[in-house]
Chain A
């Protein structure tokens, strides 16, 4: 074995350790995926993300065209530009996927998320929570003497900001729907 220059006993030669150490920075993209509304379609999409190691930041799904059996899945994901391209190509080849739109690339999409916040507190904290809710145009949808539930619609950033402000004022629980998004303009 005169030609062999591999260190004996080395295990560094794993076939799968091939990732580029100088990988590009990650980006956040919102994808709208139009799918046939059939059983298991969401599992196909989620399975693709988990099986190939992609990130899901948020995911919403609902039927948008009852007669055409179409559902719209809105996925917020992060990855390097190459990974984002791969995600779109992989989604596109699922047989029951009609169309994949990258709303982040197609122009500044309108993104909205609905959130519910339960805030418990008394005295000044309670008054401050209500005052901030007005500033953020959050509605009170439930009220007891010790708590509020606020309802708010906005961008994920706005919802994050409101949650941050509520935390010292007695934030108990948050429920978020995930992002729904549409591209701007007539098309």
Chain B
């Protein structure tokens, strides 16, 4: 039965029919009719943020931790332009979002009306797709299409721009089942010949490595399970990008740790020295490859990716497989099991022996300190005191703390790690932690932050307190832009141009001003008790952890260098590695 309704009611109805339970948003003139409809119902919960950027990052946190699209509702003009950073972040990290923006009425478009911006023009390059709806009769159908595009293929953010007169006008509502089928149907199954070629390469490989990424997580929990089975069946070592942490458990015996610019020594040298690289849902990002000409020079490479444009974009691969990770891994495993196939066990055990030598380097070693808290130590203690929590979710901001968190915290499940990878958005973590906590009210949600990143979206304390979201803000406070400072030390002659803050707030008082709890900790001896105090408090906490101010994040591949030109911390013993592994360390 067809029902007539206003465009505003249609928006809310379409969201309900798409199974949306939460919307992150901020009202304004051009979305008032939709806000009125939200007021008149109870099925969809609206979370009022304090800045539109916060709404988009919160929706990203919601989406990453649930696998469902995050939904955002903001007004025209500044509401939409404030959402741009979040949209770009979601596009880079393939996060499904549906962002609804208000627009001036259709008859005012192009007249430089109050709070008018060319939203579809501005967001065209930072969305997977976007629509301006000029006719109420097409509104519901467009919203259903928007969900389809956001979720299908390589996920990403989409935006629907809705002029105010379209919200007021009346038309027939189109339910999802009646909506036009989209021609946009990315292929899920991989080419069978290519999959067969990969299986044969797995059989003969002598020095293989799995290099996995966010695509495994985006493919869903089943893909992570299949990945674990494949690693178990082959016994191959596995490393992951920042985005893919948790797809294979950090406690798993084949785990090498994260790779890349601040990845682990053993992971990067395995990538450099392998003869078969199996890329599953990663995209050869420049933080992973380093200098392209010297990237894993002696390996044959297979690449599983749902996005054809990821194939051969920066690294030429021998066996490209275009398809969904879950579907492809299922086929690989079936073929593997059916043939009674075996890996080259002798070569594999030699390869593992070399990896064990690299592991002995203990690249995450650092010099402990009795007086000041080392950031690495703070994270080790946080890990020790929270890793057994049944539902722990970690968000991060961007910088040194983010890399240390990836190095020192272990993830045994997918969707538990929320971080801004591709875009590297400072200010991402706090609102993301709010989105995660909204989706998982009883979970332990910790945002590992640097003080500078955290201040970029600190207004969201208001949101955390208003909705009683017990998010824990674990701030490693070095009073510096640590990663900028590190690059200035290593590459710019120790000229620390504008990389420290001379006036930081008192974070304890700041927490109290918002009605939250603040904890200050500066003595390593007090750290465990302070962390426990944070964990036991039922409410949002700002944990101001004063750490060593000049600590650098190692290991590090200077950008533009290959994997084997890694630099290590000053306390790492590399003598054995050079002798036994033959790796050239500079």
Contacts and interface: CB of A to CB of B under 8 A. Distances in A.
Nearest to B558: A13
B567 A20 contact: no
Interface in B529-586: 558-561, 567-570, 572, 574, 586
A47 interface: yes
Interface in A75-106: 82, 85-86, 89-90, 92-96, 98
A43 B124 contact: yes
Contacts of A44: 124
B124 A15 contact: no
Interface stretch (A4-12, A114-122, A162-170, A179-187): A4-12
A142 interface: no
Nearest to A38: B131
A40 B558 contact: no
B184 A95 contact: yes
B187 to A, nearest CB: 11
Contact of A14 (B128, B490, B559): B559
Interface string B487-501: 000111110000000
Interface residues of B, number: 42
Contacts of A53: none
B309 A4 contact: no
A17 B560 contact: yes
A18 B286 contact: yes
B149 interface: yes
For A1, A4, A47, the residue with the greatest tally of chain B CB atoms inside 10 Å of its CB is: A4
Listed residue (B125, B153, B292, B568) with the most chain A CB atoms within 10 angstroms of its CB: B125
Given A3-B568, A18-B292, A93 B558 contact: no
B493 A8 contact: yes
Contacts of B311: 89
Contacts of A93: 153-154, 307-309
Contacts of A10: 491
Given A89-B311, A92-B308, A18 B567 contact: no
B283 to A, nearest CB: 12
Interface in B300-317: 307-309, 311-314, 316
Contacts of A94: 129
A9 B129 contact: no
Contacts of A1: 570
Given A47-B125, A93-B307, A98-B183, A3 B567 contact: yes
A15 B314 CA distance: 14
Among B132, B153, B314, B490: residue with most chain A CB under 10 A: B490
Contacts of B567: 3-6
Interface size class of A (residues with CB under 8 A): 35 or more
B391 interface: no
A18 to B, nearest CB: 5
A40 B109 CA distance: 15
A99 B559 CA distance: 38
A3 B570 contact: yes
B309 A92 contact: yes
Contacts of B154: 93
Contacts of A96: 129
Nearest to A51: B125
B120 interface: yes
A82 B570 contact: no
Interface of B: 120-121, 124-125, 128-129, 132, 149, 153-154, 183-184, 286-287, 289, 291-293, 307-309, 311-314, 316, 490-494, 558-561, 567-570, 572, 574, 586
10 contacts: A3-B574, A8-B491, A11-B492, A13-B561, A15-B560, A18-B286, A20-B292, A20-B293, A93-B309, A95-B184
Given A89-B313, A95-B129, 20 more contacts: A3-B572, A10-B491, A11-B491, A13-B560, A13-B561, A14-B560, A15-B286, A15-B559, A16-B286, A17-B560, A18-B289, A18-B314, A20-B292, A47-B125, A89-B308, A89-B309, A89-B311, A92-B309, A95-B128, A95-B149
Interface of A: 1-6, 8-18, 20, 39-40, 43-44, 47, 51, 82, 85-86, 89-90, 92-96, 98
